[in-house]
Copies of this chain bind each other. A is one copy, B any other.
Amino acid sequence: MGTIYDLAKKTGFSITTVSKALNNYKDVSDKTRAKILQAAAEMDYLPNAHAQSLSTKKSWAIGVMFSEANEVGMKHPFFNGIIESFRHATEEQGYDLIFASRNLRNRDMSYLEHFKHRAVDGIVVICSDRMDEQVQELMRSDIPIVVVDMDSANCSVVYSDNVEGARLAVNYLYELGHQKIAHIAGDETIDAGAARIKGYELAMQELNLSIQPGYLVNAGFFSVEEGKQAMERLLELDDRPTAVFVAGDQMAIGVIEAIHEHGLHVPNDISVIGYDDIDMIQYITPKLTTIRQDTDEIGEAAAELLLEQMTAKERLTERRVIPVRLVERASCAPLEQ
């Protein structure tokens, strides 16, 4: 591989000139640039990123923080889709993603510390837990940062229009004739969960529908199992809902399972609508009607906001709300009188 010193020796120029030739400075003649470039090609020269970063104070690396909370890590299809599109968008600009471990050779440190240690140019947080002290710390720091799927006043954020999504769902069910509409919700400590609850309540109010006791049930952290348990609570009610809006597709899967186990039919007995539009719901029975979050768009927006912030020297706090839409499949049916 070799260094610029080797290149200098080989071509007879100084390392200064070599470096300039490599970096397209204008004060080096075409002839010498050509010589140097050729020599570089011949010896497979590659600049050392660490040396570059050290002297330019730019690392071309973006740190990503995933929530470890629910042990989902990079397995969750929704967050996955986002990070994948985020990666594509930043990669085009020449950035690499680095997933930081939290221990630096035994001594464990915070994410912020680790990212400072690595001297990343920016950070993306993909994690729904606003209570996480680590996330708070990141948001307080002065490193360019963008937060996904969570709101915050003091840094750039991008998330889906959850209120509107919930409204779409409720209105859709209403148009099918349903009035007894329940909501199986995500935990309120998670922004997405809270916003969907808000949208649900708003929509019900707008339609002059009252939310019956027990119709709003907290199902925690979006897992299949929690969804199932929540639905079982609804099924125990004397006055059962005829339709239920579920705050996440995974939960919705559990919901359908619970309904089936009760000997009831989806959608004939109970209509179910989910949230997210993860791939797998096209293959369950019945195919799930849901509110689609555009992970591509979210990832791209996040990349855009972060890049913006890395070039601007000051802290920006733009908020980008990505539209959602309803995807009609087979899990909702008109209410039969």
Residues in chain A within 8 A of chain B (CB atoms): 1, 46-51, 53-54, 59-61, 73-75, 77, 80-81, 83-84, 87, 90-92, 94-106, 109, 113-114, 116-119, 224, 253, 257, 279-280, 283-285
Contacts and interface: CB of A to CB of B under 8 A. Distances in A.
Given A96-B118, A105-B60, A117-B47, A84 B91 contact: no
Contacts of A83: 74
A73 B106 CA distance: 31
25 contacts: A1-B116, A46-B109, A46-B117, A48-B54, A48-B117, A49-B117, A50-B51, A50-B59, A51-B54, A54-B54, A61-B98, A75-B80, A75-B81, A87-B99, A87-B101, A90-B101, A91-B103, A94-B105, A96-B114, A98-B98, A257-B283, A280-B280, A280-B283, A284-B284, A284-B285
Contact of A99 (B50, B92, B99, B280): B99
User: Which 9 pairs across A and B sit closest by C-beta, in order of nearness?
Assistant: A91-B101, A280-B280, A50-B50, A94-B105, A50-B53, A97-B99, A285-B285, A50-B54, A98-B98
Contacts of A253: 283
Number of copies: 2
A101 B95 contact: yes
A84 B73 contact: yes
Contacts of A50: 49-51, 53-54, 59, 119
Given A49-B117, A49-B119, A94-B106, 17 more contacts: A46-B113, A48-B54, A50-B53, A50-B59, A61-B98, A74-B80, A74-B83, A74-B87, A75-B84, A95-B101, A96-B118, A98-B98, A98-B99, A279-B280, A280-B283, A284-B284, A285-B285
B102 A99 contact: no
A162 to B, nearest CB: 23
A224 B97 CA distance: 30
A211 to B, nearest CB: 29
Nearest to A72: B84
A114 B47 CA distance: 10
Contacts of A98: 61, 96-99
Nearest to A47: B117
B77 A118 contact: no
A114 to B, nearest CB: 8
A308 B106 CA distance: 18
Nearest to A23: B105
For A81, A105, A117, A257, the residue with the greatest tally of chain B CB atoms inside 10 Å of its CB is: A117
Contacts of A109: 46
A54 B90 CA distance: 25
A84 B92 contact: no
A53 to B, nearest CB: 4
A211 B264 CA distance: 43
A259 to B, nearest CB: 13
Contact of A74 (B47, B49, B84, B95): B84
Contact of A119 (B48, B99, B105): B48
A99 B66 CA distance: 15
Contacts of A75: 77, 80-81, 84
